[in-house]
Amino acid sequence: MVRFAGCCRFVYNEALAEQKTRYERGEGTLSYLALSKRLTAWRQGVERPWLKEAPIHPLQQALMDLERAYSNFFAGRAALPRFKRRGRGESFRYPDRKQIKLDQANSRIFLPKLGWLRYRNSREVLGEVRQVTVSHRVGKWLVSIQTEREVVRPMPKATCVIGIDLGVVRFATLSNGDFLAPLGSFKRHEGALRKAQQALNRKVRFSRNWHKTRRTVEKIHTQIGNCRRDFLHQATTSISQNHAIVCVEDLQVRNMSRSAAGTASAPGRNVRAKSRLNRAILDQGWFEFRRQLQYKLTWNGGRLIAVPPQGTSRTCPACGHESAENRPTQAAFRCTLCGFEDHADRVGAINILSRGLQVLRDEGTDMADASAGCAGASWRRCTARIACEVSGAQDRQQQESAEVI
């Protein structure tokens, strides 16, 4: 498996190097088809006999990944593709379901050129197998099985509409007044991580003790990731089960976390404070929070609405007066016109909710009951009945993290 993952990385890097030199020469990038012809030549050549030992499909998938990375780059969604490093995110993917056999009763899976492998089951695999990804994470190999199945369009069990404001001090504030404490997983592990990293710096590189300490560092990184994932999953599961429609602000996380350093001609201000905020934002995992909310709401028959965030924290929900003076401190909100007072994050959540309801009204979604309950007192818990339209009854579900023994 290490070798297969290595071959995929090699193919990706080799193709990327080719694309880069073409780009420097001013030529266009090669298509997937042209690259896969190169792949055939590499496999048949005498220079790299080991490439022939790896299964062909995962190698082709590596080229497809590269093509997608480039199209994301050209569409402005991502940075220029970079070379993959050894030992980081090692994985390979089998796209052909005809070559995969899954024997759940005996906890084993058949993969091309690997044969039957036993695995530790994390959950039942439902539906038809589409593709399988094998990945390496801190000493463990994981197999992830993507399946496809028909699901009945669900009706939302809950009937509430809610607005959520995301923040640094409070991770998420709901328009009904509930809030989630900050994630802070990184902070909790920061000390241990720093200590381990310092210890690593003192060791002789690539010595036995260096490898041992490096594993400790990796372990702490994994713990941080696990804590974050667990927290986010718990939060998004409970929110999506208890609400039919969730309104969030349409945050551009990448813009917000952009470095404040600026350029040499126009140096940025508050660089240190901003970089600390950046770390707090990225540590919080807002983007992942939104992604999970989106798909879990779809599973439950609900819907996520993203609204423009401009001025949500400065507008009075009672009288609509918008002013920066409405917010004397970070946490407090007091309307200078009508005297309405509440926690600033909750005010943000209420405003996000009313903007979401406006979106629904503009669409003409049958929200008469809901808006009647919310227009006058949008910050009160709303218990109106809503009919939800969720497009796409077919549900692609990723079965995650069954462990290969």
Q: Which residues are catalytic?
A: 165, 249, 345
Q: Is 321 one of the binding residues for Zn ion (CB under 5 A)?
A: yes
Binding window for Zn ion (CB under 5 A); candidates: 100-108, 190-198, 244-252, 317-325: 317-325
DSSP 216-250: HHHHHHHHHHHHHHHHHHHHHHHHHHH-SEEEEE-
Binding window for Zn ion (CB under 5 A); candidates: 20-28, 112-120, 327-335, 346-354: 327-335
DSSP E strands in 125-244: the ranges are 128-137, 140-150, 161-166, 172-174, 179-180
Torsion-angle region of 206 (φ positive above 0: left; ψ -120 to 50: alpha; else: beta):
left
Binding window for Zn ion (CB under 5 A); candidates: 55-63, 216-224, 275-283, 321-329: 321-329
Pairing of strands 108-111, 101-103: antiparallel
Dist CA 163 CA 350 (whole Å): 6
Q: What angle do CA 371, 243, 157 make, to 5 degrees?
A: 105
Nearer to Zn ion, 94 or 333 (CB): 333
- Which of 235, 305, 307, 318 binds Zn ion (CB under 5 A)? It is 318
The least CB distance from residue 340 to Zn ion, in Å, is 5
Nearer to Zn ion, 244 or 350 (CB): 350
The least CB distance from residue 286 to Zn ion, in Å, is 28
Nearer to Zn ion, 19 or 326 (CB): 326
Binding mask 335-374 for Zn ion (x = CB under 5 A): x-xx-x----------------------------------
The least CB distance from residue 221 to Zn ion, in Å, is 47
Query: Quick one: tokens of 80?
Result: 């220029």
Dist CA 308 CA 321 (whole Å): 18
Nearer to Zn ion, 303 or 314 (CB): 314
Helix, strand, coil percentages (3-state) for the chain, rounded to 5, are 45, 20, 35
Q: Is 334 one of the binding residues for Zn ion (CB under 5 A)?
A: no
Interface ranges with Zn ion (CB under 5 A): 316, 318-319, 321, 335, 337-338, 340
